[in-house]
């Protein structure tokens, strides 16, 4: 496996996240994922993506717990 760099381009970030480039572009334009432009290219910081993924998974888990309590 290649070494992950701190700043990734769209191809590297899509591989890291396990989503297609098209999905990643959609998330960017919907402002659902942290990204920035360097020149005319989208870039992603690995540490920022890691924090974003952690928040996403926590939100998902919390919704599941609330749903269980509401059903039970």
- In this predicted structure, what is the pLDDT of residue 25? 97
What strands lie across the sheet with 7-8, from one edge to the other?
7-8, 41-45, 36-38
Q: What is the pLDDT along the chain (72 residues), one digit of tens a residue?
A: 456 789 999 999 999 999 999 999 999 999 999 999 999 999 999 999 999 999 988 876 667 666 667 776
Exposure of 33 by Cβ count < 10 A (0-12 exposed, 13-18 middle, 19+ buried)?
buried
The pTM of the full predicted model, rounded to 2 decimals, is: 0.75
- In this predicted structure, what is the pLDDT of residue 59? 77
Q: CB of 45 within 8 A of CB of 33?
A: no
- In this predicted structure, what is the pLDDT of residue 10? 97
- In this predicted structure, what is the pLDDT of residue 3? 64
Degrees to nearest 5, angle at CA 13 with 1 and 4? 35
């Amino acid at each position: 496996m290649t070494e992950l760099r701190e700043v990734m381009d769209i191809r590297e970030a899509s591989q890291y996240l396990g989503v297609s480039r098209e999905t990643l572009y959609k998330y960017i334009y919907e402002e659902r994922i942290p990204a920035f432009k360097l020149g005319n290219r989208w870039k992603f910081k690995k540490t920022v993506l890691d924090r974003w993924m952690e928040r996403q998974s926590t939100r998902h888990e919390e919704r599941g717990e609330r749903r269980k309590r509401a059903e039970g």
